[in-house]
Amino acid sequence: MRKRMLVLLLAAAICMGGCGQRPGGTEPVANMEEDEEQKDSGAEQNRKEDGSDAASEGTDNTEGEDGNIVSGEPASGAEEEKGIVQAKGLAELYQENFPIGIALSGYILQNTEQYGQVILENFNSITCENEMKPDSLLDQAASQANLEDAYLHAAVHFDNCMPAVKFASEHGMKIRFHTLVWHSQTPKWFFTEDYTDEGRLVDRDVMLARMENYIADVLGYFQENYPGLVYAVDVVNEAFDVGDGDETGIRMNKNLWYETVGADYYYQAFVFARKYASKDMKLFYNDYGCMDKADLILEHLARAREEGLIDGIGMQSHLSTDDKIQHKFMLAVKKFCDAGYEVQATELDIGVKEDSDSAFLLQGRKYRSFFKNMKALQEEGYPVTGITVWGLNDDLSWRRDEKCLLFDGDMNPKNAYLGAMMDPSIPDVE
Catalytic residue among 238, 342, 402, 430: 238
Q: pLDDT for 153-199, tens place per residue?
A: 999 999 999 999 999 999 999 999 999 999 999 999 999 999 999 99
Whether residue 219 contacts residue 233, with contact meaning beta carbons closer than 8 Å, is answered with yes
Q: pLDDT for 210-234, tens place per residue?
A: 999 999 999 999 999 999 999 999 9
Q: pLDDT for 48-75, tens place per residue?
A: 333 333 333 333 333 333 333 333 333 3
Residue 315 exposed, middle or buried by CB count within 10 Å (0-12, 13-18, 19+): buried
**pLDDT at 358 > cutoff 80:** yes
Residue 347 falls in the annotated catalytic set: yes
- What phi and psi, each to the nearest 5 degrees, are found at residue 273? -65, -45
Residue 238 falls in the annotated catalytic set: yes
Residue 8: CB atoms within 10 A of its CB come to 22
Q: pLDDT for 231-273, tens place per residue?
A: 999 999 999 999 999 999 999 999 999 999 999 999 999 999 9
pLDDT of residue 78: 35
Query: What is the radius of gyration, based on Cα positions, of the chain?
Result: 22
Say how far residue 77 (Cα) sits from the centre of its chain.
39
Query: Within 42-197, where are the H helices?
Result: 79-82, 90-93, 106-109, 112-122, 134-137, 140-145, 147-150, 162-170
CA-nearest of 162, 93, 173, 171 to 126 is 173
pTM above 0.85, yes or no: no
CA distance 133 to 176: 12
CA distance 179 to 187: 14
CA distance 347 to 289: 12
Task: Give every CB contact of residue 80 below 8 A, 6+ residues apart in sequence.
Answer: none
Residue 305: CB atoms within 10 A of its CB come to 17
Number of separate helices (H) and strands (E) present in the chain: 17, 11
CA distance 301 to 404: 31
pLDDT of residue 60: 35
CA-nearest of 429, 430, 413 to 61 is 413
CA-nearest of 13, 9, 40, 32 to 389 is 32
Peptide linkage before 179 cis (omega within 30 of 0) = yes
Catalytic residue among 129, 131, 212, 347: 347
pLDDT of residue 36: 40
Whether residue 118 contacts residue 104, with contact meaning beta carbons closer than 8 Å, is answered with no
